[in-house]
Structure 1
């Protein structure tokens, strides 16, 4: 802008001088026509005065042009300052645009990441639903397995308790007589031949019912013969006198037997009790025995 103003000023000055010269020449042509009768000295004096006036006008124009040039310089300086301010603002805007572009790229990258995370969340939700479904199915399978196991255990126990039977003789070995005692005494049959279900205890002589049902019991007692001591044993259920086997002879060998079918509850106790003041004989032939078995559950 400044260079343009510098070039414009000489052009304006030349234009003004050309205009002044043209006016002077025009005046010089007109004056002789109007003053054809004037003297030569008067024409020269008028020309000198006009030239003086023209120089005065040029100086005035130069002053005006100088003032105008100063004003233009001020204006150029202001324009330059405005231009620099605008350039700075443009640079700032460019920096802001660059930063905005970076933020836009970051936003796009984050948006893409958000979409990816949303897809992963959707997939995770599906996996979670599948896991929950599988967990429910596993719980159901486990419950069915537990039920099956319980059923198997129940069937196993039922099978086991349905297989209840025992048989035992009085003496574990040798030959001998048990009694007499001055009171009723429980008999313990120590030589166990079979004890399926382990319901009979060879240490106490007690049979304990493992399941509710009908049981059949048989017992035999051997007698060696004695005038003062008979041979006798009573079948006892929970302290109740059920049946008795009794024999009394003065000499020689004898025996007695009895049996009963009983309805027992779980935990009922059945055993044989030796009759007071009686003797029971047994030897290697096992004459005195106690047997029982489960007929059926109820």
Structure 2
């Protein structure tokens, strides 16, 4: 019973001491002195009633020391708690700053992503434009190649044409210039005669190549070829027949005939002949017929080379 009463008194002292330590009202020395005084008073009051052995005092002292140690540890724990709270506040501030920085970084990242998207769009647009330009360049290159090919073809054609022109010039230079146009006479009526005569056209309008002889009235072919001949005759007599023959060498090949009813009627005809070099062509007035010509050139004879053969 004595020990139980002493232990109960000690517990009350510890409770009071802890309350004072938490409120900060007493220092460590005050607690010690108060506890000692309380313990002395309590023990003395108790010792007046009971007999306490020396072991109880030793246990009380040990308990007192333990209470003081626990009080100090509580104050140290409180200081540590305050330090931890300060550190927590600093950490929270750092976290807030980090969150703000993270938000700023997120905005920067979003802005960079947007700029990157814009750059990608621009790059894509530039690539599309580049493809279009490449297509145009390829088309232009194809057009240039086509123009070069066409130019080469034109140059080839021009060379061929120049060669053909040169050949034509050479052929033209080699081809004799054959053409004549003649009038019969300025003396009026010719004939009639008792025999067939060769008409000698004395008025020479043109005689390229000097192929017609006014002296003989004969055209002589300078080359083998195709020749064109035409003639016109007039007779001023009435009631007579007008007739002229075209001869190739000794052969009559063309005849013109007309009976004049009222006088001054003309006869015309033409022919293409294939002649060998040296062949002759001339007009013959038959026996008993006449022709008429004067300065008006009613009776004419014409011929020229169409092409050599």
Q: Could you state the TM-score of these two structures normalised by the residue count of structure 2?
A: 0.43
Larger Rg: 2
